[in-house]
Amino acid sequence: MVNAQQRPSVLRQDATPVERVKPGLDRRIIRTNDLMTVVIDFSGGPWEQPDPLHSHPHEQTTYVAAGELLFLAEGQAPVRMKAGDLFAVPSGVPHSIQLLSESARLVDTFNPIREDFLK
């Protein structure tokens, strides 16, 4: 994780340690006091089922940097997404994804920061 609380910082893909959240899910984090960006690498796809819906008080935008997935949000039809697509999730809205390709890279941005992601 790169933490730039009072000064600019840089996250370099080849120089920033990865956090293995669980098998098939690695992440790298960069943040300021109020904004967090998380690069998430998924592997082990395609998945037979989506992850369970979840929600959080944070606003979220997600850029699909690589791969294909199904974006699910409560009350909306699933949306097939590919590299270059983005989605946004307001605070408190249940949502999830289903990996459709072998792997994917997502770039999530959260406001405020996800304290639960910090060690």
Percent of the chain whose pLDDT exceeds 90: 82
Mean pLDDT value across residues 106-114: 96
Task: Locate all alpha helices (DSSP H) within the chain, ordered by sequence.
Answer: none
Strand partners, 68: 82
* Res. 2: pLDDT tops 90: no
Considering its fold, how many domains does the chain have in total?
1
Sequence-ordered list of residues with C-beta below 8 angstroms from that of 66, at least 6 positions apart, any chain: 83, 103, 104, 105
| pLDDT class of 31 with cuts at 50, 70, 90 | very high
**Average pLDDT value for the chain:** 93
Report the distance separating Cα 56 and Cα 25, nearest Å: 19
* Res. 4: pLDDT tops 70: no
Name the residue with higher pLDDT: 15 or 82.
82
Mean pLDDT value across residues 58-80: 97
What CATH code is carried by the domain that includes residue 76? 2.60.120.10
- Give the domain extent around 79: 2-117
Residue 3 pLDDT: 59
